[in-house]
Structure 1
Amino acid sequence: MRTLRTLTTAVLAGAALFGTAGTVVADSPSPSPSTRTDGEAPAPTEAGTSFRTATAIIPDQRATADASTGDYLYWVLPVDAGQRATVKAKVTLPQSARHGTATWQLDVYDGLRRRQACQYGARTRAAARDAGSVELSCTLRTVRAWSEPWANDPLPGSYYVRLTVVDLPKDDLGLPVHAEVNATLADQGGAHDVDGTLAAPLVPGASTAAPEAQESAAPGKPAALGEPDGGWSSGGWSDRWIWTAAGGVLAALGGIAGYRFTAGSGRPSRVPPGA
């Protein structure tokens, strides 16, 4: 009788458990059709016209914008310590007859709005009168976690991308163009680490709004800048620590091996005469 009662209790408990699980599954909200499953915001289709209205983008995201020849186009993205940013831009020129050569330029500024030099790439290119497009690129130096106040080293924070035409016939001003911008980041490892770190990344006027809030921001307002994946490191972790620890272990093992080799067994190799 006791065994039957125990089995009955177990069956009732199992039924209650499955009933609760079914209720939980039923109450779970289904994903909205408008929500992307990859968690990434759609690529921007417009650009800002100044530093304050720069359009926020993320690495490996192709941003586009339709503009007029002569406009200043601005985008902004976060770059962390130990990363080397490469920005590429392509401008599709109008098919209508143009009056001469147009020179386009790609500039990258850090969070202090200091223009950073391009280590590689062609940041300025001239498009012939009959050219259909022009492509530019700029690879910055590796971002440092800390720098001297007088230095112009790239530091972690916001990086502004500016694309514009710097020389063209006046009659070609205002012609429609289509711009594409893509930024990629490459981790350079602990070889570029320094001992100091910034108190905070250089992100002027940035808010901590989510990407959904950035999409709903009103035009003309400062862009809400995001953070790199995993947050700002600012030199907090690096493979330099691994190499340092490995070097210490190898040095200790080398010291032990050297001691054992030179010390020997501790006994004299020859017995002194008369001993």
Structure 2
Amino acid sequence: MVLKRILCSKLLTVDRKLNNYVKILQQSYSKAVDEERTTHFGFQTIKESEKVKEVYSVFENVANSYDLMNDAMSLGIHRIWKDIFIQELAPTHGSNLLDAAGGTGDIAFRYLNYLKNTPNPRNSPSYVTVSDINENMLDVGKARAQRQGWVTENNYNISWEKADAENLPFTDEFFTAYTIAFGIRNVTHIDKALQEAYRVLKPGGRFLCLEFSHVNNELLKWVYDKYSFQMIPVMGQLIAGQWQPYQYLVESIRRFPRQNEFKNMIEDAGFRQVSYTNLTCGIVAIHSGFKF
């Protein structure tokens, strides 16, 4: 009987310890899950489930003044960056481009103009699909396409698709090229957007990203930071009637991975021959990769 009582006491002690360990593990797991479900929205920390809604709201509110603000904020230099971007892509006739987060069509129209000004001896049709999660941005792009006459062009086909860059509604290996300009920093999971880009590209297809990055000159960085945080929100209020979206814009740029870090992320998604080119001392960078 004494031995039985001792054994029962030992078993109860072990059982209590096991229960405590289980509780500790459950608490650690819950804490880890909570941490995983948070992300950044500018300098704020929010739940992942809220970021899509917050970003959607930002671009819904600024869609109609988006292009005007781009000119004002960059002093028109964004046009040069985008021209260089398309020259780097150097599309050929018969291409099928997906322009993700393409909104108002800036990259798509440059792509089509580049092809239209290139000899097309075989009369090969080319295609571009502009995808964006925000319907208001797409509406602005469609109106611009109508005004520019792209709707009636036979060999230069443009279509519009409301889509999340992290969950694209396209079949595997469908596009010959994938571009995303000033959009990838707004997604919740950059790695998922890169994986989707890899999935929808054909073997030999090219990934090309134009994004704000990190300045590599200390003096310019100081000037750039002063201009970004003190001037851009004010311009947003004066031109677009709202400063908050442009405060987010500035903060989201600072939270974006540095050039080498983003290069590694692109390689992790499966792309090869990954490289980047800084423009304007790293204010923006073009990242390139190929699917083999």
> Same fold, TM exceeding 0.5?
no
TM-score (norm 2): 0.29
TM-score (norm 1): 0.30
Larger radius of gyration: 1
Structure ranking higher on relative contact order (CA contacts 8 Å, 6+ apart)? 1
More helix by proportion, 1 or 2?
Answer: 2
